[in-house]
Amino acid sequence: MTEFTMDRLRENLEALKMKNTLEILDNYLERAVAENLNIVDVLDHIFAEEAKSKRKRAYEKQIQMSGFPIKKTLDDFDFSFQPSIDKRQIDELATMRFLENGENVVFLGPPGVGKTHLASALGLVAAQHRFSTYYVNCHQLIEQLKKAHFENRLPDKLRVLAKYKMLIIDEIGYLPMDIQGANLFFQLIAR
């Protein structure tokens, strides 16, 4: 392969935003020549690595945009600490069928029992499945909705929040909600 061809290949990979392939190309091509791999095996490996890298970047971006307060997984949750929580039910939620069915999930309980941990962990699972996910504290959400209402941007704000496949609203009921806040919250939930 000529240097001109390699330069053109690198330019094309950049234009296609195939960053991972650009990084592994030289080493993998050397290995392919040394091991006498056929072109289909070479392409299969390169594209599989690129796809894996793109999925990983998409997941990381989703996590960054989601606003999770903690990044703990379901494996990190100590079910023996909270025996009243049915692990099988949580595992069922982790299949994300409830999202596909358009169902809501509500975790009820006093502070310190793991509601935020479980909700965030399920949010991480949703992000792995490429569902758009957003975490917000209820008080902050109400303030955002009030501000949007005051600025005559409420329909836009509701549309933005409603686009998420999984909207995690934490700490509902910890602070009292006034009539306007309750009304705005209801409008979001109704959507």
Q: Per residue in 21-30, pLDDT tens?
A: 888 888 888 8
Average pLDDT of span 48-55: 90
Cross-strand bridge partners of residue 136: 169
Query: What percent helix, strand, coil does the chain show, rounded to 5?
Result: 60, 5, 30
Q: What are phi and psi of 92, to 5 degrees?
A: -65, -45
Rg, Å, the chain Cα set: 23
Q: Enter the DSSP assignment of 74.
A: G
Read off the pLDDT of each residue in 28-55 and give the average, rounded to a whole number. Answer: 88
* Domains of the chain: residue spans and CATH: 3-66 (no CATH), 74-190 (3.40.50.300)
**Cα 118 to chain centroid, rounded:** 15
3-state secondary structure of 58: helix
Cα separation of the two ends of the chain = 58
Residue 170, helix vs strand vs coil: strand
Contact 69, 120 (CB under 8 A): yes
Condensed to tens digits (0 to 9), the pLDDT of residues 98-154 reads 999 999 999 998 888 999 999 999 999 999 998 999 999 999 999 999 999 999 999
- Name which residue leads in pLDDT, 175 or 126: 126
